Amino acid sequence: MRNRLKALGSALALVFLLCLAAQAADPLPSWNEGAAKASIINFVDKVTRADSRDFVPAPRRIAAFDNDGTLWIEQPMYVQFAFVLDRVKALAPQHPEWKDQQPFKAALERDLKALGGFGARGLVELTAAVSTGMTVSAYERMVEGWLRTARDPRFKRPYTVLVYQPMVELLAYLGANGFKTFIVSGGGIDFMRPWTKRVYGIPPEQVIGSSVEVTYELRDGVPVLMRLPKIRFIDDKAGKPVGIQSHIGRRPIAAFGNSDGDLEMLQWTTSGKGARFGLIVHHDDAKREFAYDRDSAFGKLDKALDAAKAKGWTIVNIKEDWKTVFPPEQGGAVR
Amino acid sequence: MRNRLKALGSALALVFLLCLAAQAADPLPSWNEGAAKASIINFVDKVTRADSRDFVPAPRRIAAFDNDGTLWIEQPMYVQFAFVLDRVKALAPQHPEWKDQQPFKAALERDLKALGGFGARGLVELTAAVSTGMTVSAYERMVEGWLRTARDPRFKRPYTVLVYQPMVELLAYLGANGFKTFIVSGGGIDFMRPWTKRVYGIPPEQVIGSSVEVTYELRDGVPVLMRLPKIRFIDDKAGKPVGIQSHIGRRPIAAFGNSDGDLEMLQWTTSGKGARFGLIVHHDDAKREFAYDRDSAFGKLDKALDAAKAKGWTIVNIKEDWKTVFPPEQGGAVR
């Protein structure tokens, strides 16, 4: 009996070790086996294998990722909107005119439907009004301070842990395969840059987003970059390929999005020569996250869903394709 | 006697081998020993040695290089001006109004003094007028075609071999030490990107420059990026720190320039906290290249030369600091 138990123990230990090894070998452990996961691995394999006819040299392995709804949550509203609404509220006493003026009125009334309708432009307009007249560094500190204390209304966790674990694994997997990954978001470039390296492993120079005008000045002899209350660029819809050209100067070979704001980026990416990859995250998991698409105020996915079907882009259905949605809680530690 | 000769021969062979070894170990072989070379090596040593109190982690080792006059020649005029003047000449019959309109008048008359006076803005204005209404890809092909056939008027060689060998070595040296090197030029971003990887080892996404507006369109269902006849951004003087912020999102720790157009970039770079490095290339070698500074139409170096002295930036005097100026001719092979 004692020997049998010992043998069973050894066998179990072996199975456990084999499981660990299998897990270690799987670069995308939070993805369920299925067509979506297989399409990713197949694409990476064919562009990286030296003897593949679809081989792409490492410097041209450029991948573009939307942020809101693709890498982190965007419901009940874009995270940056939550930040901006707090600022609007704080500054409202000095701006009585906002009560009757859009998009401020919607912001003060927390009218999410209306705010969603204003889209990236509304976000950038509000940002330009409430977080300019300060240096870029002061703004970055303000964003970091806000992210430390702000909590998501549903999950009661910091926004920077409400990132999609399967997508974070995908970023790492692509990086390990010689890809350079870029964020290409309608959100503010300076709102993302302070934390994308820590949270996604993406350095500031690989972040593309909407922006306000910035000017270089000497203040008491000290050089500063001041944020001006004027929109410079809106990195959304047809702006995304333009932002990509401006920052990267070449066409990505893979693009990842989740809404109609990403349609042109996916069109542009997948219409280049050679092997190309397009992926749409479809939020259909109300239990673990949110379910929304064609009628959503934020992250509306309508035309891009039809295009994905027509063009053969990979559609990720969260409910069936993701084993887990968010990273495991680590004793409530804030990233 | 025979033995003595043999011994002498062996000794000479040894000295020769030692010289070769020393040269192989020298990361900057085209730089003469002196204060400029020592300051570069000292800076790189102190920010890369793990036990140094000035240590900077690799991701923050960002270095910014001007292009015209810092990495390649800019006399008798910016290379891009030579390109644009050819285009102006070709298109002039369709634009009789250019005869009386600046900067076209100066371009048609090849009035280099006047063109120099128009600076980066004049260059971008001319570029916007003569190389827009076409796709970005078509423009890049045009630039590459022109560079293949165009020859510098003095050296009769392609412009892409009239790069400064010591600076190309410096780029490689910084790269080998974990630096990410960026070009930050008043020249057109799309004029540089087609060849900077081949010539300097700098990929398109690390090139920052002046730009025209670009728009994303579907032409017969095919996505294209069109260049519009409108200036988007002038990456010169106070524009350089703004371009750096927009593209990189953090302050470089080292900057390299040669003219007053680089002054703000060097101010911004060197006024950050921690170890910083600024360098100005001073063209004082009329024999091997050109001698110009305070009164030059192109690459005027006046305020930045005074600032370099006041702030302790490294001044490179080509005559004494550079062993060679251009890469060795390789049987006339075009890079």
CB spacing of B214 vs A190 below 8 angstroms: no
Q: Is the whole model's pTM more than 0.90, yes or no?
A: yes
- Identify the closest residue of chain A to B204 by CA–CA distance: A249
Q: Which residue has the higher pLDDT, B65 or B11?
A: B65
* Per-residue model confidence as pLDDT tens digits over A172-185: 999 999 999 999 99
Query: Do B245 and A214 count as a contact with CB atoms less than 8 A apart?
Result: yes
Q: Could you tell me how many CB contacts below 8 A there are between chain A and chain B? A: 87
Give the residue from chain A lying closest to B208, CA to CA. Answer: A247
Q: How many C-beta atoms lie closer than 10 Å to residue A41's C-beta?
A: 14
A89, A110, A122, A275 from A93: Cα distances, Å: 8, 16, 21, 55
Residue A112: name the closest of A61, A153, A143, A53 by CA. Answer: A153
Contact flag A238-B247 (C-beta cutoff 8 Å): no
d(CA B124, CA B216): 21
Closest partner CB to B225 (pick from A189, A225, A245): A245
Reported as half-sphere exposure (CB side, CA atoms, 13 A), residue A299 has a value of 28
Read off the tokens for A240: 């995304």
Residue A335 confidence (pLDDT): 47
Burial tier of B275 (Cβ tally within 10 Å: 0-12, 13-18, 19+):
middle
What percent of chain B is modeled with pLDDT above 90? 85
* Contact assignment for B248 to A204 by CB distance below 8 Å: yes
The identity of residue A75, as a single letter, is Q
Q: Are A250 and A269 in contact (CB under 8 A)?
A: no
Q: What are phi and psi of A23, to 5 degrees?
A: -65, -40
Report CA torsion sign: B231, B236, B242, B247: positive
Would you call B295 helix, strand, or coil by DSSP?
A: coil
DSSP 3-state of B247: helix
Q: What is the model's pLDDT at position B299?
A: 95
Helix (H) or strand (E) holding B130: helix B112-130
Highest mean pLDDT among A18-22, A328-332, B71-75: B71-75
Instruction: Give the residue-averaged pLDDT of B46-68.
Output: 97
Q: In the prediction, which pLDDT does A120 show?
A: 84
> In this predicted model, what pLDDT tens digit does every residue of B190-220 receive, in sequence order?
999 999 999 999 999 999 999 999 999 999 9
For residue range A186-196, what is the model confidence (pLDDT) as tens digits? 999 999 999 99
| B249 contacts A223? CB cut-off 8 A | no
Quote the pLDDT of residue B116. Answer: 87
B77-123 pLDDT tens trace? 999 999 999 999 999 999 999 999 999 999 999 999 998 888 888 88
CA-CA distance, A46 to B70, in Å (whole number)? 41
Chain A residues in contact with B193 by the CB 8 A cut-off are: 249
CB contact under 8 A, A205 and B268: no
The answer on pLDDT for A137 being more than 50 is yes
Q: Provide mean pLDDT across the span A225-248.
A: 97
Q: Which residue has the higher pLDDT, A119 or B27?
A: B27
| Per-residue pLDDT tens over the stretch A62-91 | 999 999 999 999 999 999 999 999 999 999
Mutate to test the interface with B, among A140, A185, A246, A264 (most CBs of B within 10 A): A246
Task: Note whether A216 contacts B136, CB cutoff 8 Å.
Answer: no
ipTM of the complex: 0.91
**Which range among A13-17, B172-176, B296-300 shows the weakest confidence by mean pLDDT?**
A13-17
Which residue matches tokens 């002061």? A138
Is A247's CB within 8 Å of B205's CB?
yes
- Name the helix (H) or strand (E) containing B113: helix B112-130
Q: Are A264 and A75 in contact (CB under 8 A)?
A: no
Interface contact B268-A204, CB threshold 8 A: no
Dist. CA B278–CA B313, nearest whole Å: 5
Residues A129-166 as b or e (16 or more Cβ within 10 Å = b): bbbbeebbeebbebbeebbeeeebeeeeebbbbbbbbb
Least confident of B14-28, B54-68, B105-119, B240-254: B14-28
Chain A residues in contact with B249 (beta carbon < 8 A): 189-190, 193, 204-205, 207
Cis amide leading into B194 (omega within 30): no
| Better pLDDT: B331 or B174 | B174
The Cα B169–Cα B65 span in angstroms is 13
Backbone CA torsion sign across B89, B95, B100, B103 = negative
Does residue B334 have a pLDDT over 50? no
Q: Does A242 sit within 8 Å of B215, measured CB to CB?
A: yes
Contacts of A12 (CB under 8 A, 6+ apart): none
- Tell me if A60 sits within 8 A of A120, measured CB to CB: no
The residue with greater pLDDT, B24 or B308, is: B308
Strands A222-233 and A207-219: antiparallel
Q: What is the mean pLDDT of residues B277-281?
A: 98
Strand partners, A317: A282
B204/A245 Cβ within 8 A: no
Mean pLDDT of B245-252: 98
Cα-flanking dihedrals φ and ψ of residue B326, to 5°? Answer: -105, 160
Nearest CA in chain B to A216: B238
Tell me the average pLDDT across B265-285: 98
Select the more confidently predicted residue: B124 or A187.
A187
> Which residue would you say has higher pLDDT here, B125 or B309?
B309
Residue A101 has pLDDT above 70, yes or no: yes
CA distance readout (Å), A14 to A8, A217, A283, B113: 10, 65, 38, 80
Say whether residue B222 is in contact with chain A using an 8 A CB cutoff. yes
The span from the CA of B213 to the CA of B226, in Å, is 8
Residue A6 has pLDDT above 70, yes or no: no
Which of A215, A216, A303 should be substituted to probe chain B, the one whose Cβ sees the most B Cβ atoms within 10 Å?
A216
**In chain B, beta strands by DSSP E:** 62-65, 180-188, 207-219, 222-233, 254-257, 277-282, 314-317
pLDDT for B331 beyond 70: no
What percent of chain B has pLDDT above 70?
Answer: 91
- Chain B residue with CA closest to A210: the answer is B246
**Best residue in B205, B213, B228 to probe A by mutation, most A CBs within 10 Å?**
B205
pLDDT tens, position by position, A252-295? 999 999 999 999 999 999 999 999 999 999 999 999 999 999 99
DSSP secondary structure letters along A3-60: HHHHHHHHHHHHHHHHHHHHHHH-S-TTBPSSHHHHHHHHHHHHHH-TT-TT---GGG
Q: Is the pLDDT of residue A232 over 70?
A: yes
Q: How far is A40 from chain B (nearest CA, A)?
A: 24
Under 8 Å between Cβ of B117 and B298: no
Q: Does the beta carbon of A262 lie under 8 angstroms from any beta carbon of chain B?
A: no
| Cα→Cα distances A31→A28, B272, B318, Å | 6, 43, 58
Mean pLDDT over each residue of chain B, to the nearest integer? 93
* Residues constituting chain A: 335
- B14 pLDDT higher than 80: no
Q: Do A250 and B180 touch (CB under 8 A)?
A: no
B223 touches A: beta carbon within 8 Å: yes
pLDDT at B8: 59
Q: Which of B193, B197, B249 sits opposite A193 (nearest CB)?
A: B249
Q: What is the pLDDT confidence band of residue B12, given thresholds at 50, 70 and 90?
A: low
**B261 interaction partners in chain A (CB closer than 8 Å):** none
Residue among A218, A248, A271 minimizing CB distance to B204: A248
pLDDT at B323 over 60: yes
Q: Which residues of A touch B268 (CB under 8 A)?
A: 216, 223, 225
Chain-chain contact of B204 with A180 (C-beta, under 8 angstroms):
no
